[in-house]
Amino acid sequence: MKEIFKIFNLTENEVKVYKALLKIKKGTKTPIVREAEVLSSKVYEILDRLIQKGLITTFTENGIKNYVPVDPSNINYLFDEKIKEIEKQKKEFEKNIQNLFPKNDAVHPEVQLFKGWKGLRNVFNILIDDLNKNDVYYVLGANPGENKEKAVEFFFKIDKMLHDKGVKIKAISKLERRKDAEEYLKQYGKKDFNIRFYKTIGPFEIIITNNFVLFLTLEENPTAILMNNKNMRDSFIQYFETIWKLSEK
């Protein structure tokens, strides 16, 4: 119920009146005021707002206006309308962002620091946006970090986004993590995922795209450092390919 209230941006008094109507099924001003415990001078204003939001309706009985909550099945329709509204706002937002920052003029400092899982989502959006169909997404030192469950959930979504975009994944992990990798691939599916294993790899994960290098530590509160440096990126690609040739399938 609380989620419905949030979605329709109901005020405290609107919640009281709506709950009162759900309880008494139908009512005129007096029983609604009594049940909801709101000011009688404000109740019509509150009822009008609930009507505008599609949560209640009215009918006349013996010349007296009664208020009733909408049939619960209609809530699905209201949710659909809300989703359409949000999608429309999202398209408008994307249009405005593209006008402000054309893709070729995207602002990316040479070094950026991201913290936490929300920060990770932001930096991975940058990495995914940097890749096109048939490009390669390189991962050196793939590992689940300190929170395996959270990491699997997060990277499952990231890998799916890469797959949907037609990007190929090449990853190198430690030999001791082969079992974890095999379990992950059973869930994710091999799709365009190619992984090998090497005996020793550094303490953090390194991800390489067309223009970026990301240094990632998957602690409980992850930290990521994004480097926007083409020379560094090219050096790490050479290093990756060297380790790739020495790694086990």
Q: What is the mean pLDDT of residues 62-71?
A: 84
Torsion of Cα atoms, 141 then 143 then 147 then 151, to 10°: 100
Domain 108-246 has CATH 3.30.870.10: yes
Q: What is the mean pLDDT of residues 30-42?
A: 91
Domain limits, the chain = 2-69, 108-246
Beta strands at 213-217 and 64-69: parallel, antiparallel or unpaired: unpaired
- Residue 5 pLDDT level (bands cut at 50, 70, 90): low
- Range scoring the smallest mean pLDDT among 27-41, 78-92, 96-110, 172-186: 96-110
Q: Which residue has the higher pLDDT, 181 or 97?
A: 181
DSSP helix/strand/coil, 134? coil
- Residue 96 pLDDT level (bands cut at 50, 70, 90): confident
- Domain 2-69 and domain 108-246 have a common topology: no
Tell the CATH topology of 2-69: Arc Repressor Mutant, subunit A (1.10.10)
Q: Which residue has the higher pLDDT, 228 or 106?
A: 228
Give the pLDDT of residue 98: 64
114 in Cβ contact with 120 (< 8 Å): yes
* Contacting residues for 66 by C-beta, under 8 A, at least 6 apart: 26, 27, 28, 58, 59, 60
Q: To the nearest whole number, what is the mean pLDDT of the chain?
A: 83
41 in Cβ contact with 29 (< 8 Å): no
**pLDDT tens for each residue of 82-92:** 788 888 888 88
* Contacting residues for 63 by C-beta, under 8 A, at least 6 apart: none
Q: Does the pLDDT of residue 3 top 70, yes or no?
A: no
DSSP helix/strand/coil, 71? coil
* Contacting residues for 27 by C-beta, under 8 A, at least 6 apart: 20, 21, 35, 66, 67
Give the pLDDT of residue 189: 63
Give the pLDDT of residue 91: 80
Q: Does the pLDDT of residue 173 top 70, yes or no?
A: yes
- Give the span between the Cα atoms of 210 and 232, in whole angstroms: 11
39, 66, 40, 52: which is closest to 9 by C-alpha?
A: 52
SS (H, E, C) 36-69: HCCCHHHHHHHHHHHHHCCCEEEEEECCEEEEEE
Torsion of Cα atoms, 10 then 14 then 20 then 22, to 10°: -40
